[in-house]
Amino acid sequence: VRRAIRQIQTERKLEELAAAQAARDKLPASDWAAEKLKQAKAAGITDGTRPRGFATREEVALMVAAGKK
């Protein structure tokens, strides 16, 4: 029973984290980063979506490669 309760609690925490990240993804860029983000978008380094969201290593690798062109 304890194991089942822990599993349910873990699943709830994961759902809460996913919801928080989804909300964060919708936030606009911070004032201090907005101009550089605009430049990176113009240079084709990023598409500008999810400016406050987390990036995976895969996404970062693509942005670094695009920045080196």
Burial class (CB in 10 A: 0-12, 13-18, 19+), 19: exposed
pLDDT at 69 over 90: no
Predicted TM-score (pTM) of the model is 0.68
Rounded distance between C-alpha atoms, residue 32 and residue 37, angstroms: 10
> Contact, 44 vs 64, CB < 8 A?
no
The pLDDT tens digits for 25-54 are 999 999 999 999 999 999 999 999 999 998
Q: Which two tokens stand for residue 39?
A: 């430049």
Rounded distance between C-alpha atoms, residue 55 and residue 21, angstroms: 11
Task: Please state the rounded mean pLDDT for residues 56-60.
Answer: 95
The confidence band for 20, taking pLDDT boundaries of 50, 70 and 90, is very high
